[in-house]
Amino acid sequence: MGTGQTVTHMVWRYLADDRQRWIVDLSTKHGSPSAGEESVSGGALSVTFDYQSIFVRVARDLKVNFTEDNQNRMALGIRF
């Protein structure tokens, strides 16, 4: 017996110019955290802005890791 975990993403990318990019990732998920546990359903949305090699991402994830927990995230980083 498995977890039945399925995640589906829809991603939109927009290149504003040669230095700037927007990425929107919308996803849905369903399944159980471990075999035999109750199934959960949730979704997530993340928005990322890239400027040259620097990025900022904000995300909202419902039922993170197929648990009952919801999570907000913010990330700042460098792509290399």
In 3D, which of 29, 34, 30 has the Cα closest to residue 2? 34
Q: Per-residue pLDDT tens for 2-59?
A: 899 999 999 999 999 999 999 999 999 999 999 989 999 999 999 999 999 999 999 9
β partners of residue 74: 58
pTM metric for this prediction: 0.87
Residue type present at position 18: D
Residue 80: pLDDT band (50, 70, 90) is: confident
User: CA-to-CA distance for 59 and 57, rounded, in angstroms?
Assistant: 7
What pLDDT does residue 1 have?
Answer: 65
